[in-house]
Structure 1
């Protein structure tokens, strides 16, 4: 009887255990399905939590199932950067026999992020045994072998934690606003950020914060940007136009029903606040991400990271022209020199034209995202890429660099173990330098800046660069000590102007400032500071400097012929003034031919008082009583007070030149183009 009771009890307990197992399996399946659904929406933290629940609900005896769930959990952790938990999950997957997937490859990537290069190498080799010939494993092994020596060699860069900008959570992607570098913007998930906990990262959605320097040059405590930029969504990774008036930034909107890809938005700065943002329409593609904007120094290009079709794989760097017919113009991929089968992201443009970006697909990678420098040959349009040394790069993710103008110092972000305990943190960096640079201004002679100008810089060291200018007509370029430079400014509809300089070898920081006033091809150009003896056509010695500049300009534009015109005021006999102005124009022509300018390029013309000055906008800034397009005729002048009359008479007494032809010497007697005469003339 007792035996019978024992058998009955055993059977009941067995049924209860079986029901518990079946119930657990059912719960695990539900958790896995929930995890898969979250993963499909890009909610990686939520997916990891569901897979972790499923892992705990799966019996330890079901090794195959446990290994399967462990791999899924590790993949979710990997996707949102929880490296330590990803390593543990992938190791469990290996322990339970999941070896014929990407387990070892991902485990190697995560171990390398922890700086465990030996363990990562073993994982890559195990993956290569199952998948021989996979380039990802070969590159991973190579990087594990080279990274320790790269770290040991180090460099002259100094790196330290920027404590003032960092919180107890993630702070990343710093960006200077404006060329004066007095304000620093960055992304933060600190407590003050708006929004709830993100199901993607497991922490709060990011907002954009900023800090600015006080009157003593010290950074103030960071605060959220004012205006409508920050919302319940995830905002960050911002960049600015050179004038600081436009901000581009990344927005990740959320939706409970379907995935929302990263987008680029822009906002305008007015009255110290940022306007309501608008989306930057790059493509009609709604299934691709567009993130991490950066603006080229000349304001022509918007660089960004995207996984849209047509790239090299993963995230690629692209650029699109700003200001096309519908707000944006030509779109292009930066090509295989920049992009790899991995991920390229977080581009930054320096005033020098260099592009900095992060990648996990280039060689010499120390782990995760490393920062690379790329320089585009403006003649061949080819990129040369260089890996930045340690301590800029580490075994963690290093990204989001910003530079203080032309200086080789600034900030970047990293989740390296030291200082941030795995959180993204902002670091300060610097490099010893004695900086020499040139700042140039390109503008219309007697007019305003020429933002459409193009500058060519040729150096004795082989430098050959094409430089775009900013909206105010300026450009800044670093110089190498001991190198001589020739800098030519050109613009459609204007004559060329050239300057030369030599960067000396002094150990004192120096900026050379050059002016490039371009004469117009289509309208008369005033030759300033040309003086004649009273009531004569004889040039004074004070005129030499102005006329020597005219000689230089004509030599720089050898295909141009000009009319040299002299004008008088209304006082005096009309016939006498006409003859006097003709003699004065001829005096200038004689000076030019005496300094090597061919006589058939010059035409002397005296106009007497027949062509009074027409006021341009620039002239009204100096003489507010004048109005644009006024003609300084006799009736006009006689209505003015005596002192203003004298100003107008002085303006009418002038020497000008006007371009007649821009094809001098280009053709032979038969009308054929001479190959040796091909030279850019700005027309």
Structure 2
């Protein structure tokens, strides 16, 4: 186990987001990405121009790539939906032309479309895409290993474990049958969801009904059925409310007045508190297939939903409709090839304050399980590449029906265990950073060994110091780089762990529109490690049994790495006589030195023990916790000046 000296650089940048005029909250969004407009998507199913394709092919054979590029780009812009699975080879060729002209972002965008929509062997594209993206891909730490890190970090003094995940909402909400599709009222005090807990449907099948629960004093009350006329012998579910709580949109299936398998409906709250005026949204919105899972935009003028209607990109797609000048819902449109894939996209959720859409998919490029939840931002009229919201939410099973409260503090969603993907329950827990709509301030850097200048390997974790939320840990990329999306005007702690020991802790204080650099100097020796379990009894210097495991690890490291030296520094708090504190800290450092030398045969010149008493406090002593932090033993593993043959860095 060792601390790695390194040099690195980090910075972040801030980009304004399109603002909702009805909200006073500050908003941010990622940098705009390259996108092609496809005006024919919802106009024609397929586009072809043989004359132009022949001209493009001729120019490519003549290696006149600069002339071929604008012609092929113009052709691809005219694609209808069918082109994306029939002509993915043209997307691949356009990506290659972009790449030849040094337009890497444009090339990557095309290769992504190929991988999302191909219906034949795309291993060649995947291999090339991976080679381009290996130094920008997020290498998330597997969840099992992440929790091992959390357990190990409990021995480090500075931090407590992160707040728990996968918190089942309990039997006041969930039943022994499937429960899913949560939606919240504007004040977050009422939750609506779908359940199959009653078996009274058509043909003896489980009946889907809408239920609600009210929150009182922070606790969700026993779920209640909406009853008639919302619930019927048909299936109802996937509801959402307007901000004033007066209108509800929901899905009803197998109804005689429907246009397809499932249709979207609206209902109005009556003066007596019941629901009525149930209206089918009509054939401009509904199809002869399955239409369900509605969600409203922040201004409530656009309705997003999932549909498996014919003419889409995959098994099911995300569509939208908007109110025209007459207040009517316009014909539904497909959201396009960046959001939708050849697989299934379902359960959209539009954030109540920001231009952020969440949805569940099994066809995006980073996937942890069967269905994962993603978020996408609308910037300059375009939806950006969807981002997986990370392994703290997405597991090996299925995650659907993602919902966030209006303060972006808690998430609610349905998930199943990998062993039983058909039995959904509702879960809730504090919103992880990857899922937060304002997590768009980019912190990035490169970690290099200060002597060899080679990229370091290891794991980076980031903790939000203001609310205790931890961001999912990531492996350092092959080139030594790392990247996190955080919230500006916030404080974070970055923990960098080498292959064996915690290597470094660095506090970051992000400020909007401020260039920030971290770790800009070459470090010739390690940042000290402080272990919580190395706490002596008051006024004593005797090694306790609970210390031995940590001290053994340090001792064995010195044996395995004979060129490293160890510095042991003892510190006390400021209480009591300074001379006594100085002597006590020296006695404690000497006790640790003797223990290590008794454990393993280490030459005395490789270990130095120094007592500093109370002369180097980490923080002013206002509370007892401050004193505890200052009472510590620090270890510095000092690297040799030059690399030694056979030594692994």
Q: Structure 1 or 2: larger helix share?
A: 1
Shorter-chain TM band: 0.3 to 0.5
- Who wins on radius of gyration, i.e. which is larger? 1
If the length of structure 1 is used for normalisation, what is the TM-score?
0.40
If the length of structure 2 is used for normalisation, what is the TM-score?
0.42
